[in-house]
Structure 1
């Protein structure tokens, strides 16, 4: 059976890790909207990668929203 080159295998691993982080972030956002503190803490305890990704994602999102407001975009 043929093996993937090491570079391709590493790229797949990074992509899968990013997808898992996205799923955890979506679950975290859902718990936040519901005001479920226990659910938020459970996700953070079970998915420590979220703590690495969350600050960067928040900074990008807030920057994007500020840019939209500055240039007169309508709210959604």
Structure 2
């Protein structure tokens, strides 16, 4: 009889690369996708603000970031 070695009672050759990893339940907050309608004026202001942030150096700032920042400042 051969001796079994490894995680979850698997032989070394049967182990997956992911066997050593355990899920981290607190890694990311739960998110939901929402859709909403805004006026053309507000959309133009949002896009202008995003362009201004990109020109000032924050090239990864997006509409999602803008909405999150606005909601956080409004709700908290």
Same fold (TM over 0.5): no
1 or 2, which has the higher helix percentage?
1
- Greater C-alpha radius of gyration: 2
TM-score, normalised by the number of residues in structure 1? 0.30
TM-score (norm 2): 0.30
